[in-house]
Structure 1
Amino acid sequence: MRFAIVGTGFRARAFCTLAAALPDLFDVSAILPHRPLDDNDRAALGLPVAGDLGELLGTRPGFVLTTAGPDATPDLMRELTDRGVPALAETPPALDESTLQALWRDVGSRGLVQVAEQYPRHPMTAARIAAVRSGLIGTPTSAQVSMTQTYHAVAILRALLGVGLTDADVRATTHTAPLVAPVSRAGWTRDREEHPTVTTTATLDFGDAIGHYDFTEGQTRNPLRASRVLVRGSRGEIIDDALTRLVDETTVVTSGFERRQTGLHHDFEAPELDQISLDGSVLFHNPYVGARLSDEEIAMASLLEAMGRWVADEGPEPYPLADAAQDQLLGLAIRRASETGASVRVVREAWAA
């Protein structure tokens, strides 16, 4: 699956590393920097560097992954779709509501844009979604996600609840409290000081289901704040890695999501995820065994592969622009509700038609 990349930041480098780990599956044809590169930068990339979009497309990619930032994404989407090129945009597709709406008016009907929302594809999240969709806990009625920020968390909530592009009432509050941040994107900070840190909690009322959002600044990289997931249904619930359900008139059982990780103790296999199962039924199997990928990389690889198959008319859309626009719209509502203290009503937009 041959693709090109616009951008040279953290996400672009992560996708380049992933493609290098799976050379039989992915081929990066070239990269278009969003800032000037010196010789050391070019050597570190180890890829052909294009001077402009025309030169990038001259390498004949099947699609273009854009990672130049949400301020640049809308115009890139317009230019790529004007040229008839399938595009995979990093999240979020636009920074604000009006820009989202304008982007949809310009490119929504062309059917060429997908968005790189990988969080529902994370192995444990995907296993939980599979368990919910199998009906084990009945009809899902509420979910809580404390894992990642706004639009990513909303994507997970909507997937767990089976909520489409529907109306919602959003309420949110914030709380500032001291917290140590021992790890950043650059690694260990060696900072043991407590810093004022904001936690945002929100309720998204979809009518038949309710989503609960809980996120602390820096949580995705702070080992002092674990991820938490709760899904409640009409016949049971999921709390993190445990599923409780009614199996007959007088029997309630609790089962665990079992993660088979190779390379532990005296296991001489490569250290990586093999599968996630529940009561002997495999809910998620790592398609990239042998590549030694992290869960994040597995999700990213799954997204890229799905994009390639969609472009080749061999599979469904990996994550449509309409869904990503809805996630961002709800994420913006969380922010606005937390800032104003008022309830924010999110209504159906053109992408929900």
Structure 2
Amino acid sequence: MKFIMIGCGWRAQYFLRAAEILSDRLEVSAIVMHSEKRAQEIQQETGILTTTDLETALDTKPEFALLCVPRSVMKEWILRLCKLQIPVLCETPPGQDIEELNNLWKEVQILHGKVQVTEQYFLQPYYAAVQNVIDSGILGEISNVSMSAIHGYHAISIFRKFLGIGMENCKISGKTYQFPVTKTRDRAGWHTSGEILTGNRARIDIIFENGKAAFYDFDDEQYFSPIRSRSWVIQGARGEVRGDQICYMDHQNRPVSEQMHREDDGVYNIDGWSHRYISFRGERIYENPFPGARINDDEIAVTDLLAHMKQYVETGKEFYPLREGLQDAYLSFLMDEAVKNPGKEIISTSQSWSV
């Protein structure tokens, strides 16, 4: 199956690597860039037809388009492709504000557009494994999730999935704190100067109308910094997940504490590194769908997104529909509003995609 990419920045590199892993199933037939100079550079780097003209890219007969463009032009591109009846895989958030999100939804419905969203975290090994533990029922119904790991709409996505939240409304309150942290690593690589940065840490409470709660804690250095660790607590009536530790009540109502176990090839041996599976109670609760591939957890998830998109085009089976991405984006905008107005409770309302 051929697909085209619109844009080719830092994020798009993940999808190019994913397409290589899925080369027996998918092919990037063309890339569309805004700048002629950058188009020439990308074509030289990748060997893929790269152009500033969408029509030239469409001449390669793609079956869907992947959008890796700035938020400011995302809506414009989605609608342009929907008018051409081309299925779209787009980034979140697909709009700059709440009004634009609603306008996008209404126009996509008029055009009968086929749009899925590149929200990948639920496909990462850890989150997929925890979701399987939740679905097994041993924790009982999940009532609250505390997470200090991922930001904004990504966090909202996981909160909603772990809590079983659909389009329920909520109340949001929060505050941002500033704390010093040593600069260690970013997209450019490692830093050893010892420079002290001012980290922004957001603490936000999200209380849904059914009483379930999400507690958000994120420092803007967390994605790359080895001295700002990540943590998760997912609590149900009969147990909890705390990192890799799972505590629950057995069938005789006795407390049991066990760990999820991660198995990777290439650790302490000469095998090529790759993730294999995560197990719990002697059973595999997650298996890497791309065994042997030398890719990290986020790359596994991104590759899985492309595989799901292929299936969506072939069968119509949705994996992360636009309405879900819009809800994640909407609540993340309200989170931003809450931390800008500490002490004020922000109340969500049902939007056009949720009714």
Change (3 A) 1:270 1:25: farther
Aligned to 1:237, which of 235, 240, 264?
A: 240
Q: 1:308 is aligned with what amino acid?
A: K
Please state how far the C-alpha of 1:319 moved relative to its aligned partner: 0.7
* Contact in 1 for aligned 2:92/2:118 (Cα 8 Å): yes
* Aligned residue runs from structure 1 range 291-310, under 5 A: 291-310=293-312
- Residue of structure 2 equivalent to 1:324: 325
- Residue of structure 2 equivalent to 1:128: 130
* Contact in 2 for aligned 1:145/1:156 (Cα 8 Å): no
- Residue of structure 2 equivalent to 1:220: 223
SS, match of residue 309 in structure 1: helix
Looking at structure 2, the residues matched to 35 and 166 of structure 1 have their Cα atoms a distance apart, in angstroms, of: 42
* Contact in 1 for aligned 2:5/2:28 (Cα 8 Å): yes
Taking structure 2 as the reference length, the TM-score comes to 0.95
Q: Are 1:210 and 2:209 an aligned pair?
A: no
Q: 1:287 is aligned with what amino acid?
A: P
- Residue of structure 1 equivalent to 2:314: 312
* Contact in 2 for aligned 1:108/1:321 (Cα 8 Å): no
Unaligned runs of 5+ in 2: none
- Residue of structure 1 equivalent to 2:88: 87
* Contact in 2 for aligned 1:201/1:215 (Cα 8 Å): yes
Deviations 1:39-80 (A, max 9, x none): 444311221113311121221111100001111110001000
- Residue of structure 2 equivalent to 1:251: 254
* Contact in 1 for aligned 2:14/2:302 (Cα 8 Å): no
Aligned residue pair count: 351
Looking at structure 1, the residues matched to 137 and 193 of structure 2 have their Cα atoms a distance apart, in angstroms, of: 46
Looking at structure 2, the residues matched to 246 and 18 of structure 1 have their Cα atoms a distance apart, in angstroms, of: 40
Unaligned runs of 5+ in 1: none
- Residue of structure 2 equivalent to 1:60: 61
SS, match of residue 197 in structure 1: strand
- Residue of structure 2 equivalent to 1:142: 144
Looking at structure 1, the residues matched to 167 and 113 of structure 2 have their Cα atoms a distance apart, in angstroms, of: 17
Q: 1:118 is aligned with what amino acid?
A: Q
Change (3 A) 1:102 1:40: closer
* Aligned residue runs from structure 1 range 1-353, under 5 A: 1-38=1-38, 39-108=40-109, 110-206=112-208, 207-266=210-269, 268-313=270-315, 316-341=317-342, 342-353=344-355
Looking at structure 2, the residues matched to 316 and 230 of structure 1 have their Cα atoms a distance apart, in angstroms, of: 31
Taking structure 1 as the reference length, the TM-score comes to 0.96
Please state how far the C-alpha of 1:191 moved relative to its aligned partner: 3.2
SS, match of residue 132 in structure 2: helix
Looking at structure 2, the residues matched to 225 and 52 of structure 1 have their Cα atoms a distance apart, in angstroms, of: 44
Q: 2:115 is aligned with what amino acid?
A: V
Please state how far the C-alpha of 1:310 moved relative to its aligned partner: 0.7
Change (3 A) 1:320 1:276: same
Please state how far the C-alpha of 1:3 moved relative to its aligned partner: 1.3
Change (3 A) 1:205 1:108: farther
Please state how far the C-alpha of 1:163 moved relative to its aligned partner: 0.5
Looking at structure 2, the residues matched to 30 and 131 of structure 1 have their Cα atoms a distance apart, in angstroms, of: 40
Deviations 1:226-264 (A, max 9, x none): 111110001000001111000034511111111111112
Pairwise CA RMSD of aligned residues?
1.4
SS, match of residue 50 in structure 2: coil
Deviations 1:97-150 (A, max 9, x none): 111111111114624011100011111111001111111100000001211111
* Contact in 1 for aligned 2:36/2:51 (Cα 8 Å): no
Looking at structure 1, the residues matched to 109 and 148 of structure 2 have their Cα atoms a distance apart, in angstroms, of: 31
SS, match of residue 221 in structure 1: coil
Looking at structure 2, the residues matched to 316 and 244 of structure 1 have their Cα atoms a distance apart, in angstroms, of: 35
Please state how far the C-alpha of 1:183 moved relative to its aligned partner: 0.3
